[in-house]
Amino acid sequence: MHPALQLNDIIYVIFRHVNEPSSNFKPGGNVGHAALAALARTCQIFHEPALDVLWGDLILSTPLGLLLAYRTNALTTRDWEVLQKYVPRVRSLTFHVAAPVCRNVLKALRQSPVAQPPLPNLQRLDCRHLIPEDYHLLDIFFVPSLRDLTIEVHPASFPDISFISPLPALCPQLTSFRLFGYESHEPIVATVSNVIMSLPHLQTLHCDQLSQAAITFVAWHPSLTELDISIPSGHAYNFSQFPHPTLPRIPPFSRIKSFGMNSVRLTTIGAFIKAVQSSPSHLRITTSHASSPEDLEEFFSILSNQWRHESLQILRLESFLPGASIDIDTIKPLLRFSKLRELHLLTGNPIRFSDEEFATMGASWPSLEVINLNNGYAQADPSMITLRGLILLVNKCPL
């Protein structure tokens, strides 16, 4: 055996490449899983690294899920002795199936004969199970090592999420918290807000509406750099009260580098941006109502007037309902953002740019790497851009 293959660091790198994700989760469908299982039986040097990688990122229908999903009785002591060889290796757990088999997995793990967490070293939990009766069973995965938690709530059937209330005490190292789908449901808004205000180490947050106290906490959070929130219509947040009176006042959200905002109307988000005066490098905007060309132009003008032109690098705007066509005048305020690298303009508005206007965009954005204009979302409309226009754009963007 080559000496390099006796170094664990190199073995782990190779085995992670072997375990590439697969969209086919049927038993035996993931070739990487089968290869790792074979490598674990090949020699002693490969055994531990192969099992660590194989079990590290667990999805419902991978080994543990298949073992537990269809059980109707509790785990025996012998079952648990077998599992103990593998479950400490699990670092990530994903539930993306709205099916009763998930409940079987959760209940089986809760009934273990040993008084200890079923996945003691879990660092990431992603649950988009969407059966409200099962959410309270998730607290068995709230362990001190957990750093990343994602829970999606279905807006048609709100679960009781009071089980997350002890989260700050149970998971003191949590840095990424995503709980969304509840929109403006008041009991969930209150619970989520209270939990967030007890998470001092947050770096990533994705949620819907928050209480005034929670949004104030988030606006000046010292470690938060990535934020996705819902902006309520008809209710303006108040950022006049700085929560740290003994420190120099800084603008709200000034530490946010990646900012996502969603609301019913684009005008609501525009008013919010005016109030906070943030300047992130990545901005994601989503609205559920159609935006007129005038709304879009006004919004882009607000961005251009409020934010530093050298700050914005990636802009993604989604508003899928059909509207009137937009032209170069609509996006002209964006031409001032000279560092723009990606523009994703995904609207229901047909886009009418000429070849020369396309070239102007390239000259204004010399660092442009990706441009995505509607990607088929708008109504069918013949494009005015020809191959010549694409060549002019590429020539203006040497990178």
In the prediction, which pLDDT does 65 show? 59
In the prediction, which pLDDT does 352 show? 86
Residue 140 lies in a domain: no
Indicate the range of 158-172, 190-204, 377-391 predicted with least confidence.
377-391
Work out the mean pLDDT of the chain and round it to a whole number: 85
In which band, very low, low, confident or very high, does the pLDDT at 99 lie, cut at 50, 70 and 90? Answer: low
Amino acid identity of residue 163, one-letter, is F
Residue 211 lies in a domain: no
In the prediction, which pLDDT does 230 show? 95
Predicted TM-score (pTM) of the model is 0.88
Residue 8 lies in a domain: yes
Residue 28 has pLDDT above 50, yes or no: no
CA distance linking residue 88 with residue 56, whole number of Å: 9
CA distance linking residue 340 with residue 364, whole number of Å: 9
Domain total for the chain?
A: 1
In which band, very low, low, confident or very high, does the pLDDT at 44 lie, cut at 50, 70 and 90? Answer: confident
Angle, helix 8-18 to helix 31-40, in steps of 10 degrees: 150
How do residues 346-370 score in pLDDT, each as one tens digit? Answer: 887 788 889 999 899 999 999 999 9
In the prediction, which pLDDT does 73 show? 66
Six-digit token string for 70: 């269809």
| DSSP code at position 223 | S
Cα atoms in the Cβ-side hemisphere of radius 13 Å centred on 87? 18
CA distance linking residue 151 with residue 179, whole number of Å: 5
Count of Cβ atoms closer than 10 Å to residue 196 Cβ: 24
Residue 69 lies in a domain: no
In the prediction, which pLDDT does 275 show? 85
Residue 86 lies in a domain: no
Residue 357 lies in a domain: no
How do residues 105-133 score in pLDDT, each as one tens digit? Answer: 777 777 776 678 889 999 999 988 767 88
Amino acid identity of residue 261, one-letter, is M
Three-state SS letters, 45-70: HHHHHHHHHHHHEEECCCHHHHHHCC
Q: Which residue range(s) make up the domain with 23?
A: 1-59
Residue 12 lies in a domain: yes
The secondary structure of 319-346 as a DSSP string is EEEE---B-HHHHGGGGG-TT--EEEEE
Amino acid identity of residue 162, one-letter, is S
Residue 42 lies in a domain: yes
In the prediction, which pLDDT does 22 show? 53
